[in-house]
Structure formats: C-alpha cells, structure tokens
Structure 1
Amino acid sequence: MTRAIRRIAPPVQRAAWLTLGILALGLGGLGVALPVLPTTPFVLLAAFAFGKSAPGLQQRLERSALFGSAIADWRVNGAIAPRFKLLAVAMMAGVFALSLVLAVPLVVLAVQFVCMAAAAAFILSRPETGRPSPWRDRPCLEACPAPGASAGHLPSPSDQGEFRNAAKRF
C-alpha cells in the first residue's frame, strides 16, 4: 500500500503544482488588464509552480517578453521595479480607502490595515530593478559551499581562495 502511494504521490503533486501555476498565470494575465489585480506576484508564483511541475513552461515564461524581465529581476536581485512598487502601494491605499467609504466593520479594517502595512513594508524594502540586494553581498560563512559545489561538499580553503581571486577579476 505504501509503495502504491509513493508511486501516485509524485504525479499528483506535479498535477497540483501545474494547476497552481496555470491559475497563478491566469490571474497574472488578468492583472495586466485589470489595475486592481497585481501581476508580478502571480507570475512569480506561476514560475515557481511550473518549476516544480513543468520546467518547459517555466523556461517559456522566463523567456517571455511580457513577464521575463520581472522574473529575472526577482531571481537575480530580489528586485521590484519602482513603478510596480508605486502601483502596489497605491492599490492597497485605494482598497483601504474604499473600505473606509463602505463603512467596513472596525475589526475588519484593523486586520486589513495590519496586513496591507506589512505587505507595503515588504514591497518597499525590496531593491529596485538593476540594484543588487544588500543581502547578496554579505560574505559567506565558513560552512557555506562554494559556487557549483554540492551541498554535501564543503570547500577547502584553497577553493575559497580561488573563488575570491576569480571574483576580483570581474
């Protein structure tokens, strides 16, 4: 019975990731046309989900003219373009203002405010496009594997020296 479940689980998981990717990409596509729906988070989620289920779709999404640059900026720098930051924060403020106008209960407003403030703080803390994240420049700890090394292989001091010398040349 356990072996049968193990054989079934990976295809079921792939189907679940594929379904999530398709739904996220659909919502991201709608976000292109609808200003109240964010595009980038859904596209990033779709790329992640396709990576777990259909790598070909992930690569196609990463090469697309419409979404490829946002995915690349996020992967390389954890970056969000300034116009998307502004749009996201403006949309959150607009939704909160609409909630005030519609006289939403105070408890709902409080939860909404906390969630939106946390989301806005995260968005605004991300580096802008083309600027590397300060977290990427931190020195590697001694137990950190060298680039290209497997997780089980710790680099020797000579490996680290070669990496540092190569990095200086660039």
Structure 2
Amino acid sequence: MWKPLLIAIGLLSLICGAIGVVLPVIPTTPFLLLSAFCFARSSEKLHNYLVSHRIFGEYISNYYNHAMTPQHKFRTLLMLWCGIILSCVLIGATVPWIVLPIIATCVSIHIIRLKPRPDATPTATTVNAPVEDSTSEPRFADDHRA
C-alpha cells in the first residue's frame, strides 16, 4: 500500500531536485535525499539507480560522507551568497538584510567545516597501482579477480 505512494513522492522530489541543479533558487540536495529515502523503502531498483547516478549520486554521497570537494564547496558558497544577496535586494525590507545573512553565515560555516573529499577521478598512477592481498600474489587495481 505504501510502496506506490513512496515511489510517487520519490519521483516528484527527484524531478524537483533535477530542476534545482539548474535553478539556484530550488534546493537540490534535500529533494534528492527525500528521493533516496523514499526509494530505499519502496524500490531497490530506483534507489540503486539514484545513488549510482552520474550527477545525482554525488549529491547523496557528499551528504552521507559529510564531505565535499573544494570545487563543490566554492560553487555552493558562491551560489548561496549570490542567492541571499539577490533575495535581500528583491525583498528590500530591513529584516531580510539581518536574518538571511545570519542564516547564510551559519550554512557557510557548516559547509566550510565539512571534510574535504578528493576528486573521484582516478589518476594514471592509481589505476595500475598494486593492491596488497595477504592471501595471494599482488593484484592490480583494475584486476577484477576476487
């Protein structure tokens, strides 16, 4: 009974998260996390698709690992502050000029304190680096033997 509802909510939040990737005023990560939550409880296939997705999977991985690459931190902070300043200018009242920067400062501190996550792209030296195995001869990273 709950599975179709969770799948529908997951798909709707996935669409909102996808829109949030290109529109800075819509938060991406909360929608993707809601999708992951719904899919984890309703469809293993959709959950696996989402967490292994080339774009969306990285948002979820960053959240699960409490880590971001330096490039993501920079982009996130830049978009956060541009959005806050634009919001304050468009609203024009005094209260947003006080409240929104305080919220943005707290979020910025949280983002800055996240541990750095190295880029996920392998280098030529790590692809063929030996993998130590205590039970047999050395294997290489691109060797898929168990």
State the TM bucket, normalised to the shorter chain: 0.5 to 0.7
- Pick from 46, 54, 61: which aligns with 1:72? 61
1:46-85 equivalent positions in 2, closer than 5 A: 46-75=35-64, 77-85=65-73
Task: Report the CA distance between 1:42 and its aligned residue.
Answer: 2.8
- Pick from 96, 114, 138: which aligns with 2:84? 96
SS at match of 2:115: coil
Q: In 1, distance between residues paired with 2:25 and 2:16?
A: 11
1:45 matches 2:34: yes
* Residues 38 and 88 in structure 1, CA contact (< 8 A), matched pair in contact too: no
1:29 matches 2:18: yes
- Pick from 108, 115, 118: which aligns with 1:120? 108
Mark the runs of 5 or more structure 1 residues left unpaired by the alignment: 1-10, 132-170
More strand by share: 2
Q: CA RMSD in A?
A: 2.6
* Residues 88 and 100 in structure 2, CA contact (< 8 A), matched pair in contact too: no
Deviations 1:66-106 (A, max 9, x none): 2223433433x221222222222112211222234335211
Match of 2:17, as an amino acid? G
TM-score (norm 1): 0.56
**Structure 1 residues 125 and 18: alpha-carbon distance in aligned structure 2, compared to 1, 3 A threshold:** farther
* Residues 73 and 80 in structure 1, CA contact (< 8 A), matched pair in contact too: yes
* Residues 88 and 96 in structure 2, CA contact (< 8 A), matched pair in contact too: no
Match of 1:113, as an amino acid? P
**Structure 1 residues 20 and 106: alpha-carbon distance in aligned structure 2, compared to 1, 3 A threshold:** farther
Match of 1:61, as an amino acid? L
Deviations 1:101-146 (A, max 9, x none): 3352112332222222222222222112249xxxxxxxxxxxxxxx
Aligned residues: 119
Mark the runs of 5 or more structure 2 residues left unpaired by the alignment: 120-146
Q: In 2, distance between residues paired with 1:15 and 1:111?
A: 40
Which one has a bigger Cα radius of gyration? 1
Task: Report the CA distance between 1:26 and its aligned residue.
Answer: 0.9
TM-score (norm 2): 0.64
SS at match of 1:91: helix
